Amino acid sequence: MANGTKIIEVDSAIRCEEAIRDRRAQDRRAQDHTAREDTVREDTVHEDTVHDRLFVRVERTFAFFDLCGFTTFTDVVGDDEAVDVLNQFRAETRRACWAHHVRIVKWLGDGVMLAASKPRSVIIAAVELSAGMTSLGSPLLMRGGIARGPVVLFEDDDYVGRAVNLAARLSDCATPGSILVTADLADEAPPWATLQPVAGRVIRGFSGTRNLVAIHGPARPSIEHRARNLSEAAFGAGAEM
C-alpha cells in the first residue's frame, strides 16, 4: 500500500510539473505575439527538413539585466528578503516593458532577457527599470547590456545569434548601476540619461575591441519626459503633447 501511495504522489508531482511547463510555454507564446507582429514580410523563412522545424530570421534588439550581488545578498539576509527584492525587480520589469512594448523573453533567476524590434523601446525601458529600482530603495543595483542585429527566431520562443551573445557579454561587463550598449545605439538613449563613452573594450568571446557607451539614468525620469516617450511610442517621434 505504501508503494502504491508513493507512485501516486510521484505521478501527481510529474503532472503538476508538466502543467507548469505548459503554462510557461503559453506565457512565452503570448509575450511573443507583439514581437511577431513586428516581423516584416521580408523576413526569410527556412525549413530544417532533418528536424522538421521552422525558423525565421529577424532583426531585433536584445537586453540582459541582473541584480548585482544577489547571491551574497541572499546569503546575508535570507531567502524571504531576497524574494521581496526579486518580486520588486520583476514588477518593475513588467511595468517598463509593458509601457514600451518590449517582450520579456525569459526570466533568468535574478536576471531577465528582453527583446524588441525597436532599439529605442528597449533602451528607454531599461533606463526606466534601473531608475525605478533605485527610486524604490532597492538594496541592489542593476546592470545590463544591449545589442542589436539579425538573429534566428527559433521554435517561436527563443533567439539564436551573435546579437544575443553580445548583449549577454555586455551585461557581464557592465558596472553596477550602468547599462552597456554598442556605440551605434547611443543615439537611441533618452535625453534624461547620462552617456559615458567606453572606448576599445575587449569582449570575451568576440575578436578585436569595441567602442561602447555606458548609460546611466536619473533616480526616476520626470513625468514630462515619460509622457513624451509614451507619446512618441504611440504616435511617432513628431507627436505633440
Asked if the structure places residue 240 within a domain, the reply is: no
Which burial class, exposed, middle or buried, applies to 37 when counting CB atoms under 10 A from its CB (0-12, 13-18, 19+)? exposed
Q: Check which CATH number belongs to the domain holding 182 and give it.
A: 3.30.70.1230
Q: Which amino acid is at 13?
A: A
Asked if the structure places residue 32 within a domain, the reply is: no
Range of the structural domain that residue 128 is part of: 41-235
Phi-psi region of 198 (alpha: psi -120 to 50; beta: other; left: phi over 0): beta
| 16: number of Cβ within 10 Å | 10
Asked if the structure places residue 170 within a domain, the reply is: yes
Q: What is the pLDDT of residues 129-182, one digit of tens each?
A: 988 888 788 888 889 999 999 998 877 677 888 999 999 999 998 888 899 999
Asked if the structure places residue 96 within a domain, the reply is: yes
Asked if the structure places residue 222 within a domain, the reply is: yes
Q: How many domains does the chain have?
A: 1
Asked if the structure places residue 31 within a domain, the reply is: no
Asked if the structure places residue 23 within a domain, the reply is: no
Q: What is the pLDDT of residues 61-118, one digit of tens each?
A: 999 999 998 999 899 889 999 999 999 999 999 999 999 999 999 999 899 999 998 9
Asked if the structure places residue 108 within a domain, the reply is: yes
Q: Which of 44-53, 73-82, 100-109, 190-199 has the lowest mean pLDDT?
A: 44-53
